[in-house]
Chains A and B, each alone.
Chain A
Amino acid sequence: MATTEEIRSSLAEIVNEVAGIPVSDVQLDKSFTDDLDVDSLSMVEVVVAAEEKFDVKIPDDEVKNLKTVGDAVAFIERASS
């Protein structure tokens, strides 16, 4: 079972790959759209890559609730527990 920091770190690598945001900028309190410039299409890419990486399902209806990196990390922790 991955720790919160391990999930954040892996998610940061995905955000870096998709949107070019430096890994160190992808912190729990950061908003995907407002702080990290991840647009709606890139967000889908992040979600699909995260599903693959963490072997979880993130339903389409849930994606709009994942406003911050912390929201996404918490969802992945719940889904994989």
Chain B
Amino acid sequence: MSPTRVLVTGLGVTTPLGGDVPSTWDALLAGRSGVNRLEQDWAEQLPVRIAAEVAVEPAEVLDRVKARRLDRSAQFAMIAAQEAWEDSGLSRDDMDRERLGVAVASGIGGIQTLLANYDLLQDKGPRRVSPLAIPMLMPNSAAANVGLFVGAQSGVHTPVSACASGNEAISLGVDMIRLGRADVVLAGGTEACVHPLPLAAFGQMMALSKRNDDPEAASRPWDVGRDGFVLGEGGGILVLESEAHARARGARAYAEVAGAGVTADSHDIAQPHPEGFGASRAMAMALREASLAPGDIRHINAHATSTPQGDIAEAMAIRATLGNATDGIVVSGTKSMTGHLLGAAGALESIATVLVLHHRLVPPTINLDDRDPEIDLDIATKVRDLSQGDAAALNNSFGFGGHNVAIAFTNV
């Protein structure tokens, strides 16, 4: 028996490029950078004073009382979930909510709530710590709040695998549907750690770009001048739905999630395997699960964070996995525009990948002025057309801890 097909029937985001899917997609195609100089007072003392903050503040969108009970990361997830849910056409009153699940990932969780309440404890004592601190800072808070919003009564999960988290949530959502535990899963990720502590901490790992004087040029995957990633924030949610459920209600589908590959490097806590063995096995696993051959892949949204080692390891892994078929694949590094959304990166970039298959347009990689000679890929530097006919695409996400997740999408 062939596995249950899983379709993408709704999309929602809030990102450094826009407060919803249409504005984010338009900015991706326009090659616009979402990276900005940090103007907050606390930024002055930091060696890294740039980040990709969301284009639309949550306070402009969410009800004030609801927003004050949510960490910024959960606010992003709720905004994305509301758009995705509406986009799917589903309604909590018209479906079996025991068949509705959630998998919303985060790399770091409610860190801003945690740190703000620690400051309150220090400055004003335990009585001033918020009674909402725990439900706001717990890593599953975003998933649980999305679950409450749609009324999900199947599993509500929070995969945590650093920068692979968003893709891992999509993989988990597919598993839930294929195992028969749910008909519909809201899957994605969220992250909100543009805050001095994570900026200082990532800075101490020498992971961040220090191009403070030219923020829009700071995220430059595969360019010889790349010097680290740019911290981004935001959230993305995909509505995953079994084919049978989607067909029964005549739903519009953007793409099919054809397969996922999940592996671990077992090499180092922070450094990727230098030749990307784990990444390569993840891509191969996704192809196998999707019954795809390398020649079926037309597009890859690469993890490509703009770090010196990581970009090379991934490029080697792509060629090792896909061989000569690599020459026919148009690759994008959309973090050049969005920065790195950590636990939301896989969700945002999966949505970008789905939209490539849907619109048949590949977004550019910006700031690729002088390609690293070690990179042997066909990288889009302006908008490219995706060939007509059946097409498959991969989205890669890799995280600290050696986590690798590749998702294979196909057109419908």
Query: Shortest Cβ distance from A36 into chain B, in angstroms?
Result: 12
The reply to whether A41 and B65 form a contact with Cβ atoms under 8 Å apart is: no
Which range holds the interface residue count of chain B? 10 to 19
The reply to whether B65 and A20 form a contact with Cβ atoms under 8 Å apart is: yes
Which chain A residue shows the least CB distance to B135? A41
A44 contacts across to B, CB distance below 8 A: 131
- Docked Cα-Cα span, A42 to B135, in Å, equals 12
Per-position 1/0 for A1-28, Cβ under 8 A of B: 0000000000000000011100000000
Query: Shortest Cβ distance from B145 into chain A, in angstroms?
Result: 14
CB contacts between A and B, total, < 8 Å: 17
The reply to whether B132 and A45 form a contact with Cβ atoms under 8 Å apart is: yes
Query: Shortest Cβ distance from A57 into chain B, in angstroms?
Result: 9
| Interface assignment of A51: CB less than 8 Å from any CB of chain B | yes
Which chain A residue shows the least CB distance to B132? A41
Of B63, B130, B131, B132, chain A has the most CB atoms within 10 Å of the CB of: B131
| Interface assignment of B127: CB less than 8 Å from any CB of chain A | yes
- Docked Cα-Cα span, A44 to B134, in Å, equals 14
Query: Shortest Cβ distance from A20 into chain B, in angstroms?
Result: 3
Per-position 1/0 for A31-58, Cβ under 8 A of B: 0000000000110110010010000000
| Interface assignment of B249: CB less than 8 Å from any CB of chain A | no
The reply to whether B127 and A48 form a contact with Cβ atoms under 8 Å apart is: yes
- Docked Cα-Cα span, A65 to B292, in Å, equals 65
B63 contacts across to A, CB distance below 8 A: 20
A51 contacts across to B, CB distance below 8 A: 127
The reply to whether B130 and A45 form a contact with Cβ atoms under 8 Å apart is: yes
Interface residues of B in 98-130 (CB under 8 A from A): 127-128, 130
Number of residues of chain A lying within 8 A (CB) of chain B: 9
| Interface assignment of B64: CB less than 8 Å from any CB of chain A | yes
B135 contacts across to A, CB distance below 8 A: 41
A20 contacts across to B, CB distance below 8 A: 63-65
B65 contacts across to A, CB distance below 8 A: 18-20
- Docked Cα-Cα span, A44 to B127, in Å, equals 10
- Docked Cα-Cα span, A48 to B64, in Å, equals 20
A18 contacts across to B, CB distance below 8 A: 65, 68
Query: Shortest Cβ distance from A16 into chain B, in angstroms?
Result: 9
- Docked Cα-Cα span, A42 to B132, in Å, equals 8
- Docked Cα-Cα span, A18 to B63, in Å, equals 12
Q: Give the top 3 A-B pairs by smallest Cβ distance, nearest first.
A: A20-B65, A44-B131, A41-B131
| B-to-A contact residues, CB < 8 Å | 63-65, 68, 127-128, 130-132, 135
Q: Can you name 17 A-B residue pairings with CB atoms under 8 Å?
A: A18-B65, A18-B68, A19-B65, A20-B63, A20-B64, A20-B65, A41-B131, A41-B132, A41-B135, A42-B131, A44-B131, A45-B130, A45-B131, A45-B132, A48-B127, A48-B128, A51-B127
